[in-house]
Amino acid sequence: MIARLRGEIVGGGDGYVILESGGIGFQVFMPGPVAEEARKSSDEVVIYTHLVAREDTMALYGFLTPGDLEMFRLLITVNRVGPALATAILSQMTASDLAVAVIGGDEKALTRVSGVGRKNAGRIILELRDRMKKKAALIIGGQDAGIDPLRNDAESALLALGFSPRESRDAVSEALSGMTHPGVQDVIKAALRILRER
């Protein structure tokens, strides 16, 4: 398995880049905005990758952050969401916006993505919300599970984006301290603003 590549972007096209590493040019499929950002870099870049191997093809999908890669891997575990659709979703939504939509149960945000209908949106929310919560419970060690569902949901979204348990807990606490009657989406957005400012 190729977990990550470091090298120079030497070319690319719509939705992919060619990264040269160790004298080999790797074609790496990426969400459009991510590929564009990678191509703008004049220095070496690090791309976190996921290799999809099938009978008839092998393809490398890449992202500039571990959190984006983790969100891609979560998406492709959902029934009827393959790598191409997962990449399309992450081309039209940031990983943060996707986490907010999934945890908040916002089907409308997902159906704005071309290729995602109401059934797919509902399936993504149902399957990923449960997985994000389970993942968070494992990382946190089940502490305080179920005591504050709002806090747990917000921390789960941040953990799914690659933030540490401590960063997630502190940012959610800080976000909640300045809010009255917030929804889970409000808390996640506020916590992400706090984490970006640090």
Is residue 184 within 8 Å of 150, Cβ to Cβ? yes
- In this prediction, residues 183-196 reach a mean pLDDT of 88
Q: Tens of pLDDT along 138-150? A: 554 444 444 577 8
Residue spans of alpha helices (H) in the chain = 32-40, 66-75, 83-92, 95-104, 107-111, 118-140, 149-160, 165-177, 184-197
pLDDT at position 138:
53
Same domain, 82 and 20: no
Which string of b and e fits 24-35 if b means at least 16 CB within 10 Å? eebebbbbeebb
Same domain, 151 and 165: yes
Same domain, 60 and 125: no
Same domain, 94 and 143: yes
Rounded CA separation 176/84 (Å):
37
Chain mean pLDDT for the chain: 87
Q: Which residue has the higher pLDDT, 32 or 130?
A: 32
Same domain, 18 and 89: no
Q: CATH number of the domain that 12 lies in?
A: 2.40.50.140
| 52: alpha, beta or left? (left if phi > 0; alpha if psi -120 to 50) | beta
- In this prediction, residues 46-56 reach a mean pLDDT of 93
Q: Which residue has the higher pLDDT, 150 or 23?
A: 23
Instruction: Specify the residue for token string 């970006």.
Output: 196
What's the structural domain count of the chain?
2
- In this prediction, residues 112-134 reach a mean pLDDT of 88
* Residue 14 in tokens: 């719509």
181 C-beta neighbours (distance < 10 Å), count: 5
Q: Is 32 helix (H, G, I), strand (E, B) or coil?
A: helix
Q: CATH number of the domain that 187 lies in?
A: 1.10.150.20
Same domain, 54 and 137: no
Is residue 19 within 8 Å of 45, Cβ to Cβ? yes
Rounded CA separation 93/106 (Å):
13
Same domain, 9 and 106: no
What is the domain range of residue 138? 68-197
